[in-house]
Amino acid sequence: MNSHDNCIFCKIVAGQIPSRKVYEDDDMMAFHDIHPKAPVHFLLIPKSHVDSLAECGPAEGEVLARMMLKVPELARAAGCGNGFRTVINTGPDGGQEVYHLHVHVLGGPRNQWKVSLP
């Protein structure tokens, strides 16, 4: 059994767990966070399992670049024309809870966020 066999995000990619999809192509998928911290809060993940940003190497470079270039497009489409925040939690001390690389994209009026901003 591979470590990704029990990965909730791999199961979402496989269609075994429902999600509120924002975007999907051959390499990545975006869906709404089930515990949103802002009026707009979705996750963007690579479809191929990689535990965290710390585990990425040259093989993940192209999909990482495509993901980062997709974020502004998806954020604008979600109504974040006045800005957005991206967060990648990495490892236990970085607050990572699901060990499948994912980018949080948060936006909307700052006074409606459930997290404090510096």
Per-residue pLDDT of the chain (118 residues; tens, 9 = 90+): 355 779 999 999 999 999 999 999 999 999 999 999 999 999 999 999 999 999 999 999 999 999 999 999 999 999 999 999 999 999 999 999 999 999 999 999 989 999 876 6
Residue in 49, 100, 102, 104 annotated catalytic: 102
Whether 58 is covered by a domain: the verdict is yes
* pLDDT score at 35: 94
* pLDDT score at 5: 76
Q: Is 4 a catalytic residue?
A: no
- Phi, psi (deg, nearest 5) at residue 90: -130, 115
* pLDDT score at 4: 72
Q: Which domain holds residue 97?
A: 3-110
* pLDDT score at 1: 39
Does the pTM of the predicted model rise above 0.85? yes
Number of domains the chain is built from:
1
Whether 95 is covered by a domain: the verdict is yes
Q: What is the DSSP string of 69-100?
A: HHHHHHHHHTT-TT-EEEE---SGGGT--SSS
Whether 117 is covered by a domain: the verdict is no
Q: Taking the C-alpha atoms of 73, 101, 33 and 38 in order, what is their torsion angle to the nearest 10 degrees?
A: -70
Whether 116 is covered by a domain: the verdict is no
